[in-house]
């Protein structure tokens, strides 16, 4: 079923977004026709995942142009609206990259910009399928060629987080198609449970055996020898291989290093930001403290407590066994750095 999922889809003069805040209870789609609505959808995580919000941003340029025509905006107002979309979430580099790619095409007309946005979406799905094959080949060669694998993943990196197929979950899907997945441990992924709500939902629809586990259980599962490899996505990858991903990822990487098993990052080259030298230069989004102080809108912490809610953390490149992109596999911890090989 997830092969048919489109987290972001252009139709008519607007976008349809799968409302990922409603899953797994309901599969709802939200119609978006204004810049305000798109920015709100990105910030509320109606649409999320670096490649998916990149595609949404690409179409958002066209959305802004249409709204400018309807409401009589001048060029300054149009560019300000596009900038709001571009800055809606600061950590994931794909959003800015895709907006910047489509914006110049507006000078050739709205249809040219829309064609470029469609190209962004098509290219992402092709890239996902390519990295799925590269990642699966690498794991079979380096871990096991004769038995199904026990895998761990964090957050959601499937069709819901991309233009289609998935990044880290795309590798899992490719392995499953080859009959090479024994089980997947899906971290629940606090505080908004993208793992238990979204990844598990996709795994269930694919018929892939899986367990949902608390984030705090991941290190123990790895150190007990119950995992052959961990595969995660990324929101921004620095030139030295430092990787920003959903908060909780660095703990998985540390456990993998201690256990001596591969820690893979699967992401398209659009997620690699060669202008960012290291993880120290990546801006980490701090989200509303209520996401950790409340549950279902009900306060669960003492009234005097404050919430610290970073949306991401940074895994040092020395802990990244391999980076899988649509171009192939870089063994980052062994010295194959994105800044040298993807420039």
Token pair for 173:
């899907």
Backbone angle region of 336, left / alpha / beta, with phi > 0 → left and psi within -120 to 50 → alpha: beta
* Strand, helix or coil for residue 29: strand
Would you state the pLDDT for residue 227? Answer: 98
Between the alpha carbon of residue 328 and those of residues 131, 180, 322, the distances in Å are 7, 20, 10
Would you state the pLDDT for residue 146? Answer: 86
* Residue 258 annotated to the active site: no
Cross-strand partners of 313: 245
Are 220 and 248 in contact, with CB atoms under 8 Å apart? no
Instruction: List average pLDDT for each run of 10 residues in the chain, which is 343 residues long.
Output: 75 96 95 98 95 96 97 97 96 92 96 97 94 97 92 97 94 97 98 96 95 98 98 97 98 98 96 96 96 94 97 98 97 97 89
How far is it, in rounded angstroms, from Cα 323 to Cα 319? 11
Are 157 and 166 in contact, with CB atoms under 8 Å apart? yes
Would you state the pLDDT for residue 4? Answer: 66
Catalytic residue chosen out of the listed positions 124, 215, 235, 242: 235
């Amino acid at each position: 079923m997830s092969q048919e999922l489109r987290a972001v889809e252009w139709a008519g003069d607007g976008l349809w977004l799968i409302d990922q805040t409603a899953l797994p209870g309901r599969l709802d789609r939200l119609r978006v026709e204004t810049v305000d609505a798109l920015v709100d959808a990105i910030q509320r995580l109606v649409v999320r995942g670096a490649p998916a919000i990149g595609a949404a941003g690409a179409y958002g340029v066209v959305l802004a142009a249409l709204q400018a025509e309807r409401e009589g905006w001048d060029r300054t107002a149009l560019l300000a609206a596009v900038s709001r979309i571009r800055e809606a979430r600061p950590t994931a580099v794909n959003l800015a990259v895709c907006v910047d790619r489509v914006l110049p095409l507006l000078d050739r007309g709205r249809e040219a910009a829309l064609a470029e946005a469609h190209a962004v979406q098509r290219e992402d799905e092709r890239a996902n399928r390519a990295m799925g094959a590269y990642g699966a080949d690498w794991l079979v060669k380096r871990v096991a060629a004769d038995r199904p694998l026990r895998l761990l993943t964090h957050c959601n990196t499937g069709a819901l987080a991309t233009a289609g197929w998935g990044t880290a979950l795309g590798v899992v899907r490719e392995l499953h198609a080859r009959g090479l997945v024994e089980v997947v441990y899906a971290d629940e992924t606090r505080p908004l449970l993208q793992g238990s709500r979204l990844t598990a939902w996709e795994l269930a629809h694919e018929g892939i055996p899986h367990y949902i586990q608390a984030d705090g259980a991941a290190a123990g599962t790895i150190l007990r020898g119950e995992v052959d490899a961990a595969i995660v996505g990324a929101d921004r990858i620095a030139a030295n291989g430092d990787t920003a991903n959903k908060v909780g990822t660095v703990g998985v990487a540390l456990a993998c290093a201690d256990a001596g098993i591969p820690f893979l990052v699967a992401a398209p080259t659009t997620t690699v930001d060669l202008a960012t030298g290291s993880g120290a230069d990546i801006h980490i989004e701090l989200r509303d403290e209520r996401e950790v102080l409340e549950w279902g809108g009900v306060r669960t912490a003492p009234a005097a407590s404050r919430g610290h809610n970073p949306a991401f953390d940074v895994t040092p490149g020395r802990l990244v066994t391999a980076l899988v992109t649509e171009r192939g596999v870089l063994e980052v911890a062994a010295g194959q750095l994105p800044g040298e090989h993807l420039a």
